[in-house]
Amino acid sequence: MARIRTIKPEFPHSESMGRVSRESRLCFILLWTIADDAGRLRGNSRMLASLLYPYDDDAKKHIDGWLDQLSSEGCVARYEVDGTAYLQILNWASHQKIDKPSPSKLPAFVESSRKLANPREPSALDQEGNGEEGSGSGDSAPPQCVEPPTLTLTLNDKSEHPVYPASIVEWQATYPGVNVPQQLREMKAWCTANPTNRKTKRGIEAFIVRWLSKEQDKSGQQPRFSSPVGVTVPGREGRDPALLKIEEDSKKAAPVPANILEKLHVLKGNGVSA
């Protein structure tokens, strides 16, 4: 069943969209309309062609190429479970905000079930039509397969949320005081140990950011130097009692003998600091 979806204004300026053909961009958007609330759908290419392009007879021979481009840019993941093809729209929560999402009836994507797209050479498919459909000049480098996730975090529906190397690099730059890979491993352990408190697909990214932000705040407190023993924090009014005590004790101290003062004066005259 098709669903109403939204397109963000910044979508046309996405670098990944700039590296795929115009036909692939349209295909990506059309996939949203038949994906369930978890961003999953059946991945048989002939079926997708008939659903998404009912008036275009040539779509059946081109849609695999469009899906390969989207897979190579990390936009979708094509996978198989028990011989049936499926498709997962990656980073689904960043594309669509869904209130009260319905649980998916399709199996979750796991890395071991991925069908990797072959790196594509520039071809006539990228330049079809009036010559403006391609992703750039014919001598541009072909897109590479997306890197596998570094780890996954278990969600409340027992599916796995992939965390990719590019996201880790971005978080490390945002939170320089945090060992991001180690914190992600601790998040994974937390999700495993707290099944009733696991996050949803929609909330997992916010959970990660909140966790890292708290760790960053902690790292900002660590370099502080400890206060001298006996010195208290000044109140809003009056002087620090500890400082007053030091002044009183200095007044009661015995004066320095004259011979010692004379020796100190000689030493300072010779350039020796006391």
Q: What does the pLDDT profile of the chain (274 residues) look like in tens digits?
A: 567 888 888 888 888 899 999 999 999 999 999 999 999 999 999 999 999 999 998 999 999 999 999 998 899 999 999 889 999 999 888 888 888 888 999 999 888 778 754 443 343 334 344 433 334 444 444 444 446 788 999 999 999 998 888 788 878 888 888 999 999 999 999 999 999 999 998 889 889 989 988 888 887 644 333 344 444 444 445 566 666 766 777 666 667 677 777 777 777 666 655 5
Q: What is the pLDDT of residue 67?
A: 94
Amino acid 229: pLDDT: 41
Q: Give domain status of residue 31, yes or no.
A: yes
189 within some domain: yes
Pairing of strands 76-81, 151-154: unpaired
Contact 184, 141 (CB under 8 A): no
- As for how many domains the chain has, the answer is 2
Q: Is the dihedral of CA 19, 25, 29, 31 positive or negative?
A: negative
Indicate whether 62 belongs to any domain: yes
Q: What is the pLDDT of residue 2?
A: 63
Residue 212 lies in a domain: yes
Is position 241 within any domain?
no
Dist. CA 183–CA 38, nearest whole Å:
26
124 and 172, same structural domain?
no
Tell me, yes or no, whether 114 and 69 share the same domain.
yes
- Say if residue 31 is in the same domain as residue 110: yes
Tell me the residue range of the domain where 63 lies: 1-145
User: Which pLDDT score, from 0 to 100, does residue 193 have?
Assistant: 93
14, HSE (Cβ side, Cα atoms, 13 Å): 19
* 170 and 59 assigned to the same domain: no
133, 45: one domain: yes
Q: Are residues 60 and 71 in the same domain?
A: yes
Flag whether 273 is in a domain: no
End position of a domain, from candidates 110, 130, 145: 145
Would you state the pLDDT for residue 241?
Answer: 67
Pair (123, 175) in one structural domain:
no
Kind of pairing between the strands at 40-42 and 151-154: unpaired
State the pLDDT at residue 36.
92
Residue 226 domain flag: no
Among 145, 173, 189, residue at a domain's last position: 145
**Helix 180-193 × helix 165-174 angle, to 10°:** 110
- In-domain check, residue 240: no
Q: Are residues 58 and 182 in the same domain?
A: no
Q: Is the pTM of this model over 0.85?
A: no
The answer on 195 and 90 residing in a single domain is no
Residues, the chain, total?
274
Q: Please enumerate, as own/partner, the contacts of 57-61 that have beta carbons within 8 Å and a separation of 24 or more.
A: none
pLDDT of residue 3: 77
Of 145, 173, 195, the domain-final residue? 145
